[in-house]
Copies of this chain bind each other. A is one copy, B any other.
Amino acid sequence: MHGEEGLSTTHEMYLKVLYRQQMENEVGRVRDLAKGLGVTPGTVCAVLKKLEHAGLVLHDHYGTVKLTPAGIRMAECVVRRFDIIRGLLIEVFGLDTGAAEVDACTMEHAVSPATINRMESMLQLVRTGEIVVQPLHQVGPSVSTCSDCEVTGTCQAVAGVERSRSQGKRS
């Protein structure tokens, strides 16, 4: 019935960044998207074609880029996942903001609805004090027990993009 069978990580990122920029800027422009995503304008152009074809954005030639209602819904899903994971990593797992946001940006594309819902519940319970997790914060700062897997955040969008949005807009 829905027809959609899941967006790629790339497409989710495009929608998310576009959504955030539209919240602040009103109008979307290719150059801003490119900057926000850390890719070239040519790449954005190509991907926008697909998103337009999928009915998620409207893109006037040499003009503005706008999310459709469907695009907004999808973007909000991604943003919700990001916010929940970010909160969880900071408030429950005790990571610092920067690391949490880089990881959240990668993980947001990897969790099913079931998992994100449980994460949301957990976050809520911790916030209301029904679950107490202070002990975790005493574990120490990001011990690297595994020197082999230097898994770096593979999220394309620079951490700065995340940071600038989620804690008060800064230029």
Contact = CB atoms under 8 A, between A and B. Distances in A.
A99 B125 contact: no
Interface residues of A, number: 55
Contact of A136 (B116, B125, B132): B125
A10 interface: no
Interface of A: 2, 4-6, 73-74, 76-78, 80-81, 89, 92-95, 99, 102-103, 106-107, 109-122, 125, 130-133, 135-136, 139, 142-146, 148-154
Given A117-B144, A125-B133, 18 more contacts: A5-B152, A73-B148, A77-B146, A80-B146, A94-B118, A99-B114, A99-B115, A103-B110, A103-B115, A111-B151, A113-B150, A114-B142, A117-B143, A117-B145, A121-B136, A125-B135, A131-B131, A131-B133
